[in-house]
Structure 1
Amino acid sequence: MSETEVTTAPRPLLLADGRPAARAWSLDPALRHLNHGSFGAVPLVAQERQQELRARMEGAPVAWFPGLPERIAAARVELAAFLGADPGDLALVPNASAGASVVYAGLPHRGGGEIVVTDHGYGAVTMGAERLARRWGGRVRTARVPLDAGEEQAYEAVMAEVGGATGLLVVDQITSATARRLPVERIGAEARRRGVPLLVDGAHAPGLIDAPLSGTACDFWTGNLHKWGCAPRGTAALVARGPLRDGLYPLIDSWGAADPYPDRFDQQGTLDATPWLAAATALGFVEATWGWAAARRYMDELAGYGARVVGAALAELTGADASVDVGMPVPGMRLVRLPDGLGGSRLAADALRDRATAELGVEAAFTSFGGTGYLRLSAHVYNTAEDYEYVAEKCVPVLGEWARAAR
């Protein structure tokens, strides 16, 4: 079911002075924050760094903006090192969806071209693919990948949709709704052999997995540093390799438009780039305090423990197994199945998320796939086993009441 099966609660991580890890964040202690994977959370040191930079920007804007491209270029070097990318391949964008939009806008026109996506794809990215297909006069083909599909079955399902008309292949490295990997390394190798451009949506990858670009042959990769990397929101990377990258431009035309890729992305008018400049502070904080390898190990163990205790509570409530067989699991995130009647569609899952925050004091991710609702558990260093024990004891019975009322 998961990379790490944990039967005992992992010991909470502490700061160097012995305080709980959560004290390094400004998260509201009145809420249980169990959804790091959606919007991230920024440590105080990175918030303070960003405020310092904003004070400089607002104090002397005429001095700030002419020198901004040089500062952004320096930040790209630091962030590329964290990702294991070449700084000359990496541009900074507001989020992974923006990176995908840059790719969609920059590809050469292919009349009648088809775009292949999967049924695990992030909705906004898939919508962008549909718009591109309409401009091309083509269509989107959707690869159906069972949730429990292993590497071979997932690979075959994706490549079965690729043919002579395919102008672009879009595949998630880590899926959002279903918290699983897709075999982008193997898909990338075959796509390159066939001459099909590949865009890898790595929105969840930075910080959650080490060196996310390693072994992946793709034309484009985009990932959020403001999720698991804890950078200020609005920080993401677009990595482009090969001749198609020369057609990529920022979504805002500015005075750097004549510069080569990726330099042209470093100058976008009066864009507030302080999140990009403060991102390395967040990454460095986790590394200096616990080390990213230890942080990832803790997150995975805690997510595994959370899935066990919450899943057991749901199974006791409903009499049905709440565990989920995910074919290619990822560290730090798990799925448990919700009672029948809850979260069966994206809109229903979003409504459940909002209700849980308002009525239960729990910020959690509720997702839907194939008409089934799931609770997606994600863990970060500031979470503890007690968070998930609280959900199992206090929230699961209420979820049962909501499910009965929905029938």
Structure 2
Amino acid sequence: MSEGDLVTAPRPPALPDGRPALHAWTLDPGLRHLNHGSFGGVPAVAQERQNALRAEMERAPVVWFSTLPERLAEARTEIAGRLRTDAKDLALVPNASAGASVVFAALAARPGGDIVVTDHGYGAVTMGAERLARRWGSRVRTARVPLAADADEACRAVLAEVDDEVALIVLDQITSATARRLPVDRVGAEAARRGITLLVDGAHAPGLLAAPLAGLDCDAWVGNLHKWGCAPRGSAVLVARGPLRDELYPLIDSWGAAEPFPDRFDHQGTLDVTGCLAASTALRFVDDTWGWDTARRYMDELAEYGARVIAEAFARAAGAPPEPVDVGMPVPGMRLVRLPDGLGTSRLAADALRDRAPAELGVEAAFTSFDGLGYLRLSAHVYNTPEDYEHFAADCVPAVARWARAARA
């Protein structure tokens, strides 16, 4: 890296009383948490809100469940405002994959109607698309999008798989394994022109993008609130527009089945939906403490700094210049760092590194795989600091380099 490429460490945000942001979370101090993107991290104030709601539920279950639909409707309205979309189009679901499953279950049988996904797609959602294709007697076509593809190239790669036999396109707004965007707006415009259903997997988008649905033409969009939004797990949204919305039903039939969309999703029997009710507490906490624009800017600057520091450390360990990873359409707050040869060559191999890291490195980190190569995926939040990444570079990179040498031996 040349002197002109140096990235300055951003100043970590603090709480109003001057303490580090991490003090607002209950994360294990014995670990460094560098993988917010997988399961998020719930601030204490949102945990307290959820615990209070659970206590209220247990004090008077009959009262709780009889009034729950109204409370969920209120929660939907606030969440929709945060996502800058219309509450009448937004339903609450357990997670983004559940929302995708709702869409797959609703689509009318299209014998021979093919489904287009990409090689960056989230595995669970792609599996759902494959199961739908088996029901339809059709096939899944996988668009190969180079990691460094810009918006034009990525759009061409997806649309190259689209013809008159295609009934559904499933496209990630932000990819999980490769931490990049895909041109959902451009593909959406073309899908609408051709009358092809488009499902956008925006699992990582809420909180990370200011207005993830702005200018987006799609039939359905799903997003997790428990990732960058910091809501309790089990809180996600399904946004549907157009004719498809009236065909969408919860995965569990309950007494609200006759209600219109999205009201029928507020009737889910005896499920614990306190995570959804506490989601706005988490969203407001970040907004009231730092402001989401400030938080996002810090996350992005920190992820960039962390990627440079760690890439340099891997280069020193290998005796080679650092090789920045070009993802074509970068994502704020997320970066990829190439792992040494021999590591993360498959999803299972990458998952094994993830499971090994807490015990041997003292970190929770995301290791991913794409096209036979392994990567460290950085996903920063406000509780992370430059020192977290400096520690990984100094103390963890040498160990990972040893893992690589052992794997190649």
TM-score w.r.t. length of structure 2: 0.98
In 2, are the aligned partners of 1:225 and 1:237 still within 8 Å (CA)?
A: yes
- Residue identity in the other structure for 2:242: G
What corresponds to 2:23 in structure 1?
Answer: 23
Secondary structure of the 1:171 match is strand
The equivalent of 2:168 in structure 1 is 168
Partner of 2:379: 378
Gaps of 5+ in 2: none
Tell me which amino acid in the other structure corresponds to 2:339: L
Structure-1 separation of matches of 2:276 and 2:20: 27
Aligned to 1:284: 284
In the alignment, residue 166 of structure 1 is paired with which amino acid?
Answer: V
CA distance in 2 between counterparts of 1:105 and 1:63 reads: 32
Per-residue CA deviation, residues 13-38 of structure 1 (Å, 9 max, x unaligned), is 10000000000000001100000000
CA offset at residue 357 of structure 1? 1.1
The answer as to 2:212 corresponding to 1:219 is no
Which residue in the other structure is 2:83 paired with?
Answer: 83
Partner of 1:186: 186
Counterpart position of 2:73 = 73
Tell me if structure 2 keeps the 8 A contact 1:322–1:338: no
The match for 1:348 is: 349
Residue in structure 2 matched with residue 394 of structure 1 by the alignment: 395
- SS of 1:376's equivalent in the other structure is strand
What is the deviation of 1:318?
1.1
Equivalents in 2 of 1:174, 1:244: separation in Å? 23
Aligned to 1:338: 339
Q: CA deviation at 1:245?
A: 1.4
Q: Give 2:404's aligned residue.
A: 403
The residue that corresponds to 1:45 in the other structure is: 45
* Residue ranges of structure 1 left out of the alignment (5+ in a row): none
Cα deviations by residue, 1:331-383 (Å, 9 ceiling, x for unpaired): 00000000001111000000001111111111000000000000001100000
Letter matched to residue 358 of structure 1: A
Residue 6 of structure 1 and its aligned partner are, at CA, apart by 6.4
- Give SS of 1:65's match: helix
Which residue number in structure 2 is paired with residue 295 of structure 1?
A: 295
- Residues 207-257 of structure 1 deviation map (CA, whole Å, 9 limit, x = unaligned): 001110001000000000100000011110000000111111000010000
The SS at the match of 1:213 is: coil
Structure 2: which amino acid aligns with 1:191?
A
Q: Deviations over 1:130-181 (max 9, x none)?
A: 0000000000000000000001000000001011111110000000000000
Q: Which letter maps to 1:128? A: G
The CA distance in 1 between the partners of 2:323 and 2:385, in whole Å, is: 22
**CA-to-aligned-CA distance 1:82-113 (integer Å, 9 cap, x gap):** 11110000000000000000000001111111
CA distance, structure 1, for counterparts of residue 52 and residue 279 of structure 2: 13
Q: Measure the CA separation in 2 of the matches of 1:248 and 1:318.
A: 52
What SS is found at the alignment partner of 1:170?
Answer: strand
Length, aligned pairs only: 404
CA distance in 1, matches of 2:83, 2:90: 10
Alpha-carbon distance change, 306 to 130 in structure 1, aligned in 2, over 3 angstroms: same
Q: Is the 8 A contact 1:6 1:301 kept in 2?
A: no
Q: How far apart are the structure 2 equivalents of 1:56 and 1:384?
A: 37
CA separation in 1, counterparts of 2:12 and 2:389? Answer: 13
SS of residue matched to 1:66: helix
After the TM superposition, which residues 289-328 of structure 1 pair with which residues of structure 2 at under 5 Å, given as runs? 289-320=289-320, 321-328=322-329
Distance in 2 of aligned mates of 1:123 and 1:187: 21
| Counterpart amino acid of residue 343 in structure 1 | G
For residue 201 of structure 1, report the CA deviation from its aligned partner.
0.2
* CA RMSD of superposed structures (Å): 1.0
Find the aligned partners of 2:407 and 2:22 in 1 and give their Cα distance: 36
Task: Look up the SS of the partner of 2:66 in the other structure.
Answer: coil
Do 1:116 and 1:168's aligned partners in 2 also have CA atoms closer than 8 Å? yes
